[in-house]
Structures are given as C-alpha cells and as structure tokens.
Structure 1
Amino acid sequence: MVQIMSDSSALYSIAQGKEVGLVVNPLSVSVADKTYREFEEIDSDTFLKLVIEGNTPSSSQPSVGETLSLYEQYGDAPLLNITVADGLSGTYQTASAAAQNMPEEKRKNITVINSGTLCGPHRYLVQKALSLAKEGLSTEEILNALAPSLGNHRSFLIPNDFDFLRRGGRLTPLAAKVGGLLKLVPVMTTTKDGKRLEKFALCRSFASAMETICKNFLENKVGPEHYITVSHAGAPALARQALEKLRAVFPDSQIDVLNLSPAFITQGGPQCVAIQYILK
C-alpha cells in the first residue's frame, strides 16, 4: 500500500496522522526566543497568546535531516509526499532535496508533489489520497485521481493586521501602509502559480469582503462538487459570520470550519480568516 505523507499544513498533528495512517512532518515556529514544532510542542491557542503579548513570530519548513529520517523509516514501500504550496513555504524544495539524497533503492519509491495550496484544500488532498491508498491504488493512480482537484482550487485570506503579511513578504510595504491608514479590510489571494499572496480587493467591512469572495466563487462555478473551508486564527465570531454567508450562498456544498496552525498564524496574523475551495 502507498504510504501518504504530508507536512502540518494539512492541519494534522503526528498523533492525529497516525490514527488515519498519515506520516506528518511538522512545520516549526519561533516565538519568544524559542522554536517549537507546531502541534507537537505548541498549540495554536498558546502560540496566539504569545503573539498577542507582542512577541514577533517566524516560521520554517521541516529540515532536510528531519525529512530524510522519515524517508528512511517509510521508504521501503511506495511513499507519496504531498507538500504545502511551493513558494508559500520551502517545504516542497526540502522534501525534493531529501528524496534525491536517498539511496537509489529507496529514492525510486518516493514521489513528492507540490499541492499548490495549503490548509483546507491541502487537508482535503491528503484525505483523498489516504482513502485511495487504502483502496489499493498505486501512486500513479492516486496522482491521476488527484489531478482534477490539483487544478481547481482557490484561496482567499482576510487578515486583521497588515504587519504580519508585510513581515512575511506576502504584501508590499506600500500596500500595507496605505491599507492600514485607510482602515480597509484587505482580501488577499494566491497568485496563479500558488507561490505568493497578492492583493485581490480592499473592502469596507468583513461582510463586504465575504460578498466579494462569494462573488468570485460564483464566477468560478463553485457548487456541491466543491469542498469549502473557513480557517481562522482565534476569530470564532468572524468564522461563524463567514460560515453563515457561505451556507446561504452555497447551501449544497460541504463547508467546514478549521483552526489555523501556528505556522500560518505567523503569516496571516491573529484574527485572520482564510476562505478556500477545492474541487472534490
């Protein structure tokens, strides 16, 4: 059976991964002069508290050594590693480099793919791959089954604090400064190559931001065949507001609310909300 592997962008801890047969390689965050593997050594609530107290966070991908260790442990059988979007994280590059450093007999078993996305859609891809692997499909068959989803997804981010995006290079300093002065609600989206975030719109309120996002979903023919997620960083009230709007516009779609991990809180900041869809 093909072993499925992913980083913690798919919002699984190592223990949660074990429960479903998933190998998880955690991302790391640094805050208050300490570095933690997310979900293993720090949870989102604790991390949020430290950030809100004024500590500036940073994040990093799993090291080549950590990835090599997992490949050595699981690489005797076919292994499919589905990583967070290349460019938004260096994880794909690290995972690919680690695979190239494996002995030939194990290297040929390892396939690394760039999901082109993160969080909710990434989680869906991993869950679908797990289901297909348990059905006995080969790596090639799993990739063929994932292909339609890999080509049909979109992510939007509504940050509460421009500074986190500016520090992470996700927003130009000028846009951050202007947006902050105008007290507007920004809507960010991934670029076509999935490697960066760019400004999609500036709105007057969170409600108007959701209207803008739903309009784009409708233009892209999002419907019952898509999976929609609302992921947030300590913003349950905003997440509920987003969920209510999405359920009103897309009553037949599966919509889940998820908590963002520390690594993505580092980029989006406290109180940010991500709205995403992916074709099932």
Structure 2
Amino acid sequence: MNGRKEDLNMVKIISDSSTLYTTNEAAAKGIAVVPLNIVVDQSSYKDLDEMTSTKLLRLIQEKKIPSSSQPSIGEKQACYEQYLEEEQILDITMAQGLSGTYDSACMAKQLVDSDKITVFNSKTLCGPHRALVDYAKKLSDQGMSAQEIVDSLASCVETEISFLVPRDFSFLKRGGRVSQLEAGVGGFLKLVPTMIKSANGKRLESFCVTKTFKKAVKNMIAEMKKRQVDSSYTFFISHAFNEDDALKAQTLIEEQFEGARIVLLPLSPVFIAQGGPECVAVQAIRIA
C-alpha cells in the first residue's frame, strides 16, 4: 500500500444534482451532492429531493413558470466544513456559464479558506457530469490525490460533446442559455432545431435545423465521428418525458457505434425547467 489512506489523504468527492443523483443516491456511493434549486411561485425546492420531475411537469401544465438556481454559497460552505477535518475535498461542478454553481463553489472555498479544497469545472452536465464524478470516486478509492484526479478528469473533459433538442425554446430563452436569434429558430413549424454545447461549456449554440428528429440525430452522429468519437465512448441519452425519441436516438447510435455503452436517463426537474418538457439531450464522453 502507498500509505495515502493512513495519512488522511482520502479525497471526498462533492458535486451537485446536475449529476442526476439525489442526495441519498450519491451518499450510497460515498459521494456528497448539494442539490440545485427549482423555484415555482416564489417557493424554492431542492432538485430531485423535494421536487420530482412528474410534479414539475404537472405544474408546467398548470401554466406555472419554473426557474432554477445554483446551491447557495452557505450550503456549499457547510458541506465543505462537514468533511474538511478528515479529508481532502474535490468539488466537481456543473459547467460554468450554464450555471453559477462553479462560481458559488469558488466563493465558498474562499470563505472556508483551506488549501484542502479543490473546485473543478466539469464544463458539462447531466450524463457526462455523472460519469466524471463516478470516475473521480473510483480514483479516490484507489488513493489518488485531488490533483492527480483533476489531471485525469481534465483529459476526459476534452473528449466530451453534448447536443440538445428542445421542443419549447421559451424555457432556454428565459434562462438566458441561448440568444434571442437562436430562440427564434425554434419558432419554425415542423422543424427540429438542435443545439450544441460550446467548447468552453458556457452556452448552447445552434447546431442544425432538420425536418425530423431522426435526421437531427444523424447529424449529431456525423459531428461526433468528425471529432473522433468511437465505440470506446459512453453515450448518454437524457430526456424529459420523451422516451420515444430517446429510444430512436439509442437505436441510431447503436447502429453506428457497435458495442458502445449507452445509458438512458430521465432528466431532473432543474433540466426540465431549463430545456423544457420533451427535450432530449444526446451526449458522449470517453472515460480513461
């Protein structure tokens, strides 16, 4: 053994509900998750813990307008202080720009004022974010330091690619995640606009506009192949009550990336508030 565990150099992995983990699910894996927040009618709810996707859909159908927010600085600070006495801390946050989670985490770190805390911007969300957190936990269990884990994660982040097919652009527009012009693309009848996450992870950009969802996925696959994505990647298909399209995407990806691991996930309330009902995210990442 290398003695790291005896030296209390174990790294506690912390994240947020962009991983699509509830706090209990994360805790069962030895990970700590501080939930994002859903706000409806001036009341705030913890993502996945206090607000379910089904309940949020019902509220949207009742013409309620949800919004989302990052965990408070105080919540992050309390989480850090809970583990700081015995462990190093690595907080892997949702993409900076798409959320203020990274900035809040950095501010919480300053308040705690400890060099035992590392904050890492995943530059992604949902499926790939979960994969990075799971991988970090695996590396921590192997005795790696926070810096060693960060170095390993950084190379994985460079491989990640994410697409989103929204059905109602008003959700993205309200959240400021697309420009006015890009939001207008979603108004064309019988067309399927597709967004792609920018390379720095800070925004969603227009990728293509097609007549069918199937054609949109084929365009995504062509772009992934252009970027050297292959069957060694893990593919994530996340959806907001749109399993039919999610399964169509799965079939097309299976045909082009034989033997690849494909994971289907339901989106959390926060991402339904951001992407709207029936949106579908198609993402891929290579975990070393």
Task: Give the shorter-chain TM-score range.
Answer: over 0.9
How far off its partner does 1:79 sit?
A: 0.5
Aligned match of 2:71 in 47, 54, 62?
A: 62
CA drift of 1:87 comes to 0.3
| Identity across the alignment (%) | 44
Shift of 1:34: 2.1
Corresponding residue for residue 139 of structure 2: 132
Count of paired positions: 277
Residue 91 of structure 1: CA displacement?
A: 0.3
Contact 1:31–1:55 under 8 Å retained in 2: yes
Partner of 2:156: 149
Letter in 2 for 1:99: K
1:102 is aligned to 112
In 2, Cα distance between equivalents of 1:53 and 1:208: 33
- Output one character per residue of 1:193-241: Cα deviation in whole Å (capped at 9) or x when no partner: 1101111111111111111111111111211221110000111111111
Instruction: Confirm or deny: 8 A CA contact 1:32 1:50 kept in the other structure.
Output: no
What is the RMSD computed on CA atoms of the aligned residues?
1.2
2:7 maps to what in 1?
A: none
For residues 204 and 29 of structure 1, what CA distance do their matches in structure 2 show?
33
Task: Output the CA distance in 1 between the equivalents of 2:193 and 2:112.
Answer: 44
Amino acid at match of 1:57: P
1:213 to 205, 220, 224: 220
Task: Give the drift of 1:262.
Answer: 1.0
Q: How far apart, in 2, do the equivalents of 1:20 and 1:121 lie?
A: 17
Residue among 210, 218, 230 paired with 1:223: 230
Q: What letter corresponds to residue 78 of structure 1 in structure 2?
A: Q
Report the Cα distance in structure 2 between the residues aligned to 1:48 and 1:217, rounded to whole angstroms. Answer: 31
Structure 1 unpaired stretches of 5+ = none
CA deviations 1:220-269 (Å, max 9, x no partner) are 12112211100001111111111111111112211100111111111110
TM normalised by structure 2 equals: 0.93
Matches of residues 29-40 of structure 1 in structure 2 within 5 Å?
Answer: 29-40=38-49
Distance 1:37 1:210, change over 3 A: same
Separation of aligned partners in 1, 2:28 and 2:157:
25
* Farther-moved stretch of structure 1 (196-205 vs 174-183): 174-183
Matched residue type, 2:137: L
Matches within 5 A, 1:65-84: 65-76=74-85, 77-84=87-94
2:202 pairs with one of 192, 195, 200: 195
- Aligned in 2, Cα 1:178/1:83: closer, same or farther, shift over 3 Å? closer
TM-score (norm 1): 0.96
Equivalent residue in structure 1 for 2:180, among 173, 186, 190: 173
Report what 1:46 is aligned to: 55
Equivalent position of 2:29 in the other structure: 20
Q: SS in structure 2 opposite 1:152?
A: coil
Written as runs of structure 1 = structure 2, the 5 A alignment for 1:216-255 is 216-255=223-262
Q: Which runs of 5+ in 2 are unaligned?
A: 1-9
Shift in Å at residue 181 of structure 1?
3.0
Once the 2 structures are TM-superposed, how far is the Cα of residue 166 of structure 1 from its aligned partner? 1.4
Deviation at 1:178, TM superposition (A): 4.2
Deviates more, 1:30-39 or 1:263-272: 30-39
Matched residues in 2 for 1:270 and 1:145: separation?
35
